[in-house]
A and B are shown apart, each in its own frame.
Chain A
Amino acid sequence: MDAVVSNIPFLAKLGVYRFSQEKKETFLKLLILSLTAILSFSTRLFAVLRFESVIHEFDPYFNFRTTRFLTEEGFYQFHNWFDDRAWYPLGRIIGGTIYPGLMVTSAAIYHVLHAINVTIEIRNVCVFLAPLFSSLTTIVTYLLTKELKDSGAGLISAIMIAIVPGYISRSVAGSYDNEGIAIFCMLLTYYLWIKSIKTGSLFWSTLCALAYFYMVSSWGGYVFLINLIPLHVLALMFTGRFSHRVYVSYCTVYCLGTILSMQISFVGFQPVQSSEHMAAFGAFGLCQVHAFVDYLRSKLTDKQFQLLFKSLAITVGVVTVVVGGALTAMDKISPWTGRFYSLLDPSYAKNNIPIIASVSEHQPTTWSSFYFDFQLLVFMFPVGLYFCFSNLSDANIFIILYGVTSIYFSGVMVRLMLVLAPVMCIMSAIGISGILGVYMKNIEFGDSKAKKRPDKKIDTSYPVKSEIATGIVVMMTILLLTYTFHCTWVTSEAYSSPSIVLAASQQDGSRIIFDDFREAYYWLRQNTPEDAKVMSWWDYGYQITAMANRTILVDNNTWNNTHISRVGQAMSSPEDKAY
Chain B
Amino acid sequence: MEAIYSLPFFVLEVPHLRLKKPAFIKAPSAMVTFGLILASYFLVTGGIIYDVIVEPPSIGSTTDEFGHSKPVAFMQYRVNGQYIMEGLVSSFLFVLGGAGFIILERSNISGLTRFNRIMLFSFGFFCIIVSFFACRVFMSIKLPGYLR
B-contacting residues of A (Cβ < 8 Å)? 238-239, 307-308, 311, 346-347, 350, 360, 363-372, 378-383, 385-387, 389-390, 392, 400, 404, 407-408, 411-412, 414, 431, 434-435, 438-439, 442, 460-463, 468, 471-472, 475, 479, 482, 485-486, 489, 493-494
Contacts and interface: CB of A to CB of B under 8 A. Distances in A.
A386 B34 contact: yes
B119 interface: no
Contacts of A386: 34, 98, 102, 105
B75 to A, nearest CB: 8
Contact of A385 (B27, B38, B112): B38
B95 interface: yes
Q: Which 3 pairs of residues, A with B, have the shortest CB-CB distance?
A: A382-B98, A379-B97, A364-B50
A347 B81 contact: no
B105 A435 contact: yes
Given A372-B79, A404-B40, A434-B105, A382 B95 contact: yes
Contact of B147 (A346, A381, A468, A485): A485
B80 A379 contact: no
A392 B97 CA distance: 23
Contacts of A400: 37
B101 A380 contact: yes
Given A381-B41, A411-B44, A311 B5 contact: yes
Interface of B: 1, 4-5, 27, 30-31, 33-34, 37-38, 40-41, 44-50, 52-54, 79-82, 86-87, 90-91, 94-95, 97-99, 101-102, 104-105, 108, 110, 112-114, 117-118, 121, 125, 128-129, 131-132, 135-136, 138-139, 142-143, 145, 147
A382 B95 CA distance: 7
A366 B47 contact: yes
A479 B132 contact: yes
B98 A380 contact: yes
B91 A307 contact: no
Contacts of B50: 363-366, 411
B87 A435 contact: no
A303 to B, nearest CB: 13
Nearest to A308: B1
Given A368-B142, A383-B101, A389-B34, A363 B80 contact: yes
Given A366-B81, A407-B40, A379 B34 contact: no
A390 to B, nearest CB: 8
Nearest to B36: A404
Contacts of B110: 461-462
Given A367-B87, A468-B121, A378 B101 contact: no
A231 to B, nearest CB: 15
Contact of B53 (A364, A382, A390, A404): A364
A91 B93 CA distance: 53
A140 B52 CA distance: 37
Nearest to A392: B30
A351 to B, nearest CB: 10
Contact of A463 (B45, B118, B128): B118
Nearest to A387: B105
Given A389-B33, A411-B49, 20 more contacts: A239-B27, A311-B4, A346-B52, A347-B53, A360-B80, A366-B79, A367-B46, A367-B82, A368-B80, A371-B90, A378-B94, A385-B37, A411-B45, A435-B101, A461-B117, A462-B110, A462-B117, A463-B117, A471-B125, A482-B136
Contacts of B33: 389
Contact of A389 (B5, B31, B53, B105): B31
Contacts of B143: 368
Contact of B132 (A379, A392, A468): A379
Contacts of A380: 98, 101
A408 B98 contact: no
B52 A379 contact: no
Contact of A368 (B41, B82, B145): B82
Contacts, number: 154
A412 B53 CA distance: 10
A386 B95 CA distance: 12
B87 to A, nearest CB: 5
Contacts of A346: 49, 52-53
A445 to B, nearest CB: 19
A248 B43 CA distance: 38
24 contacts: A307-B5, A360-B80, A364-B47, A367-B45, A367-B82, A368-B79, A371-B94, A371-B138, A381-B98, A382-B95, A383-B98, A383-B101, A389-B33, A407-B45, A408-B40, A408-B44, A411-B44, A411-B47, A438-B105, A438-B108, A461-B112, A463-B118, A468-B121, A479-B132
A365 B47 contact: yes
A372 B139 contact: yes
B82 to A, nearest CB: 4
A22 B108 CA distance: 29
B48 to A, nearest CB: 8
Contacts of A379: 94, 97-98, 101, 128, 131-132
Nearest to A351: B53
B113 A389 contact: no
Contacts of B113: 461
Given A311-B5, A360-B80, A379-B132, A365 B49 contact: yes
A431 B101 contact: yes
B120 to A, nearest CB: 11
A368 B94 CA distance: 11
Contacts of B44: 407-408, 411
Given A366-B87, A368-B79, A372-B139, A382 B102 contact: yes
A389 B28 CA distance: 12
Contacts of B45: 367, 370, 378, 407, 411
Contacts of B94: 367, 370-371, 378-379, 382
A404 B36 CA distance: 11
A346 B55 CA distance: 13
Given A372-B139, A438-B108, A367 B30 contact: no
Nearest to A434: B105
Nearest to A379: B97
A350 B41 contact: no
Contacts of A389: 30-31, 33-34
A475 to B, nearest CB: 7
A442 B42 CA distance: 33
A369 B54 contact: no
A308 B102 CA distance: 47
